[in-house]
Structure 1
Amino acid sequence: MSRDIDYGNLMHTAMRGLIKSVLQDVADNGLPGVHHFFITFDTSHPGVELADWLTDRYPGEMTVVMQHWFDNLDVGEDGFAVTLNFGDAPEPLYIPYDAIKTFVDPSVEFGLRFESAEDEEEDEIESIVPAAINTDHVQEDEATAEKVDAEVVSLDSFRK
């Protein structure tokens, strides 16, 4: 009986572990220097917790920015909780790591993109691609953020 090593899923697990480690460092020590994060996630993913008005406004995906103001960052085994400011209205969010679609730190041109099998069928992409963050889905207090180009590592090339 032959079996294959599922490198794609192993890479996804490792990269989500990297995100967890980065967020835990920020929770413990604060956000260093000019680092900040654009995190795009699937708002309909099981386990995502956000206000109903945010779910209604962003029914598929949403990009939030962790930069100038965030509070109550709690990094867990399966996801993280954070309170973000939406037009002077603090809102708690819970985002499972599996719901994350992209994680970008434009201050150092670092980014990760997690592709699903459906995404792969829709659009074949190279292992490293430039990505522009669409700020239409960014939390409102960061609406002045500029579009950022970053190199995003796609893990699709490791899948069978």
Structure 2
Amino acid sequence: MPKEQLRYDRMVETALRGVVRDALTEVAERGLPGNHHFYLTFRTGYPGVEIPEYLASQYPNEMTIVLQFQYYGLDVTDDHFEVTLSFNNVHERLVIPFAAITTFADPSVNFALQFQPLAAAESAEVSSMPPRAAAERVEEKVEEAAPAEEPKRGEVVALDAFRKK
């Protein structure tokens, strides 16, 4: 019988998703400080993602949103966040589980995280973590991105892209 091992990779992923949750929680409570803004890429077909059908068909795999100037009703829970964005002058409510996020970046401070997609069963680890636990273990207004500005689906964002030269 093989010995079970501690899954440090999952622990780190869970802690880093907690960083995203904590950042969004602070923004929901206080607004975006200074020049901070977020690029969030998520898997549109992930269980629990709620986006309008026309967006799901336009972005069948991944979608990137930018939280910067215009966003409404940012609500953050232990396992997901909700936000209203404007698409072609129509306000749409998005529900995005943290486990669906594949990339989080704040270019204003050259910070980016890239995640391995979680299986639905593994997402329970993310939702069972206390909201502020990641901040203790890890140091370290929303505007729709115009379709022409969004990264291509499947594009990998390297941390070097956000570092000053």
TM over 0.5: yes
Matched-pair identity in %: 43
How far apart are residue 31 of structure 1 and its match? Answer: 0.5
Q: What is the TM-score normalised by the length of structure 1?
A: 0.74
- Counting only pairs closer than 5 Å after superposition, residues 1-150 of structure 1 correspond to structure 2 as 2-116=3-117, 139-141=144-146
Structure number with higher strand proportion: 1
Cα distance in 2 for partners of 1:12, 1:95 equals 17
| Further displaced range: 85-94 or 51-60 | 85-94
Q: Which amino acid aligns with 2:8?
A: Y
1:77-98 CA deviation, whole Å, 9 max, x = no partner? 1100000111211111000000
Distance 1:61 1:145, change over 3 A: closer
CA contact (8 A) 1:86 1:140 kept: no
Structure 2 counterpart of 1:135:
none
1:139 partner amino acid:
E
Q: Distance in 2 between matches of 1:41 and 1:141?
A: 16
1:73 alignment partner, SS class:
strand
Unaligned runs of 5+ in 2: 120-142, 152-156, 161-165
TM superposition shift of 1:150: 5.8
Deviation per CA, 1:41-99: give whole Å up to 9, x if none. Answer: 00000000010110011011000000010110000111000001112111110000000
What secondary structure sits across from 1:28 in the alignment? Answer: helix
CA shift digits 1:30-49 (9 cap, x unpaired): 00110000000000000000
State the shift of 1:139 in Å: 3.4
Map of 1:151 onto structure 2: 159
Return closer, same or farther for 1:144/1:6 CA change in 2, 3 Å cut-off.
closer
What TM-score comes out, normalization by structure 2 length?
A: 0.72
Quick one: structure 1 residues 141 and 116, their matched pair in 2 at CA, closer, same or farther if it must change by over 3 Å? Answer: closer
Is the CA contact 1:109–1:150 (under 8 Å) kept in the aligned structure 2?
no
- C-alpha separation between the residues in 2 aligned to 1:58 and 1:92? 16
CA contact (8 A) 1:36 1:67 kept: yes
Give yes or no for contact 1:40–1:64 (8 Å, CA) kept in 2: yes
- Name the Cα RMSD after superposition: 2.6
- 1:117 and 1:144, CA in 2 relative to 1: closer, same or farther beyond 3 A? closer
Runs of 4+ in 1 over 4 A off after TM superposition: 140-146
Tell me the matched-pair count: 132
